Structure 1
Amino acid sequence: LGPLERVYQEIAILKKLDHLNVVKLVEVKYCELQANGGVLGGCLPVMEVPTDKPFTEEQACIYFRDIVLGIEYLHFQKIIHRDIKPSNLLLGDDGHVKIADFGVSNEFKGSDAQLSSTAGTPAFMAPETLTDELQSFSGKALDVWAMGVTLYCFVFGKCPFTDEYILALHRRIRTQPVEFPDTPTISNDLKDLILRMLEKNPNTRITVPEIKLHPWVSKNGTAPLPLEEEHCTVVEVTEEEVQNSVKLIPSLSAMILVKAMLRKRSFSNPFEYLARKERSMSAPGKLLISMFQQVCKDDNFQ
């Protein structure tokens, strides 16, 4: 897909979603993205990785429960996110984590997506996607793996598998067991959950329904998460509604602006950021060219 097609794809997915723990796009109008009835310009990623200030286990549990519900909702809507990581999880003013950035997401039919291409951020990719053999793999299991890496980041401030060379990183993900630092100390229940989410074999990896029932998540059954039918409802969006969601965008330049804001996970004025970065560019057209180049770079377009 080209940059503009990607914009429509992301808008179509965002337009379909309506959940406390997922960013919702109401409409695109005059280059202002309105989400959940208000502008999300003040939202920041829940964590920047690496960090020397990871969350306490209690705080990590609060945020992780939001992620579980958000992912369950996405899977209910037959959407695989494919790029779950702390920087794609926005902390709203209401204190809840909201899943954002659907640039590499996949919609599927049936009970699960059977994917054959790699996507997402290298350190968060599941081992089954990093083999040379042509195969298909479960989309839901990919999201669970990335959730496991994210949870590890929450409590340790770094990814479980790291290497400066991409091929070496792939090898570590495929073959290296999960190791836990001596500090900070985490509970055995949390270690068990992380290990089950970072199970190399996707067929035996824990599933989202099982995660909801895990003692660490449910606090030994004293704080159960809502049932799927209690927080998930089918949202149908027609092609006409998708087109209407962007009909007020007047030009190619506005489409580029929308894409840039989606990529930066910010609904504030993108020119403000570029103006600081490109002080020597005084003309709006030059700013737009710079933005378009950045959009293409972010999406690996040639």
Structure 2
Amino acid sequence: MLMLQGSLTNSFSTLSQAMKVVSKKRLMKQCGFPRRPPPRGPKAAQGEQPKILGPLERVYQEIAILKKLDHLNIVKLVEVLDDPAEDNLHMGIPVMEVPTDNPFSEEQSRLYFRDIILGIEYLHYQKIVHRDIKPSNLLLGDDGHVKIADFGVSNQFEGSDAMLSSTAGTPAFMAPETLSDKRKSFSGKALDVWAMGVTLYCFVFGKCPFIDEYILALHNKIRSKCVEFPESPNISEELRTLILRMLDKNPDTRITIPEIKVDPWVTQGGTDPLPLEEEHCSAVEVTEEEIQNSVKYVPSLSAVILVKAMLRKRSFSNPFECPSRREERSMSAPGFQSAEDCYLR
């Protein structure tokens, strides 16, 4: 059970807690065992071999990282509970459906998008690429700020960028370079920027720029079709330009996060600047011990629910028991002190 700080409101739906159930058996059946990036610098010179991480270890590593991330625009992970006797690992995620008939206004989209920019800048500063930015992976907290969630396909990297070779994420939000046979590797940061562009398009138009019910046709549109803008709603030329620069099919010329931060539409011509990187980013490091302790093991999730109910009622009696049966049992042993009395004393 992964508990998140904040709740969903408005067009993101209302939800105080949500559950994502991950099958541990299914994780173990995934093809291959993803590896950490190969060592560089002194470690590479010493011939150090990268440690092989299994699917579950990857999840625990992700949890350890999430528990240490601390940013206004990143979802705050409180705890994860794992019952060794059960197959499921419970994690939380909110859902927003796209398409929608109620897109955001241009100004509301700008405010939400500014939060996404800062959240992604923070992740990239921590050497993490998200790889699955989309409206359904965004929380709108009680404070009115967007918080990025769901790091199920994210990647850690070394150096200045993640050079990836495998596809991941949601088809309609995938960048064209991931669907090309010509490119052997591609920039992780550029992938996040493309998905941010698709997300911004969804904010103002309520649908994705490239849509098709057939996956191969969708891939072809993403690779070759130009971005088209509906006649309604009518958006500003500054927003149209920004979307086109983010949805540049060439990742080498695609706009970058530092450039997006100073874009005229984002900053209202420089009158509403975003904070500098050093003003909202600080490095987070995760130790092997923190990875090992990232998940709290419990004997039974149903037992945890039962205990929580008892504590809420300030009683160790069964909160789900029929009142008539409880009364019969208390009458059969009139001299026995109630569990509630013992607990309160």
Shared fold (TM-score greater than 0.5)? yes
Query: Alpha-carbon deviation of 1:29?
Result: 5.2
Unaligned regions of 5+ residues in structure 2, if any?
Answer: 1-26, 29-54, 84-90, 305-345
C-alpha separation in 2, matches of 1:155 and 1:109: 35
C-alpha separation in 2, matches of 1:214 and 1:9: 35
Rg bigger for which structure?
Answer: 2
SS at match of 1:98: strand
Residue 96 of structure 1, aligned match among 129, 145, 151: 145
SS at match of 1:90: strand
Aligned to 1:222: 271
C-alpha separation in 2, matches of 1:198 and 1:250: 46
Give per-residue Cα distances to partners, 1:64-83, cap 9 Å, x unaligned. 00000000000000000000
**Matching of residues 1-302 of structure 1 within 5 Å:** 2=28, 4-28=56-80, 44-45=94-95, 47-133=96-182, 135-246=184-295, 248-250=296-298
**What fraction of aligned residue pairs are identical, expressed as a percent?**
77
Instruction: Please tell me whether the aligned partners of residues 61 and 294 of structure 2 are also in contact (alpha carbons under 8 angstroms).
Output: no
Instruction: Please tell me whether the aligned partners of residues 179 and 219 of structure 2 are also in contact (alpha carbons under 8 angstroms).
Output: yes
Bigger proportion of residues as helix: 1
Instruction: Please tell me whether the aligned partners of residues 60 and 294 of structure 2 are also in contact (alpha carbons under 8 angstroms).
Output: no
Instruction: Please tell me whether the aligned partners of residues 114 and 138 of structure 1 are also in contact (alpha carbons under 8 angstroms).
Output: yes
C-alpha separation in 2, matches of 1:17 and 1:147: 20
RMSD: 2.1
Task: Evaluate the alpha carbon distance shift between residue 104 and residue 30 of structure 1 in structure 2; reply closer, same or farther with a 3 A threshold.
Answer: closer
Unaligned regions of 5+ residues in structure 1, if any?
Answer: 32-39, 258-302
C-alpha separation in 2, matches of 1:26 and 1:242: 15
C-alpha separation in 2, matches of 1:132 and 1:167: 14
Instruction: Please tell me whether the aligned partners of residues 113 and 139 of structure 1 are also in contact (alpha carbons under 8 angstroms).
Output: yes
C-alpha separation in 2, matches of 1:9 and 1:77: 14
SS at match of 2:297: coil
SS at match of 2:153: coil
Instruction: Please tell me whether the aligned partners of residues 15 and 237 of structure 1 are also in contact (alpha carbons under 8 angstroms).
Output: no
Task: Evaluate the alpha carbon distance shift between residue 108 and residue 30 of structure 1 in structure 2; reply closer, same or farther with a 3 A threshold.
Answer: closer
Task: Evaluate the alpha carbon distance shift between residue 114 and residue 30 of structure 1 in structure 2; reply closer, same or farther with a 3 A threshold.
Answer: closer
Query: Alpha-carbon deviation of 1:6?
Result: 4.4
C-alpha separation in 2, matches of 1:160 and 1:113: 26
SS at match of 2:79: strand
Aligned to 2:34: none
Instruction: Please tell me whether the aligned partners of residues 193 and 214 of structure 1 are also in contact (alpha carbons under 8 angstroms).
Output: yes
Instruction: Please tell me whether the aligned partners of residues 103 and 202 of structure 2 are also in contact (alpha carbons under 8 angstroms).
Output: yes
Aligned length: 243
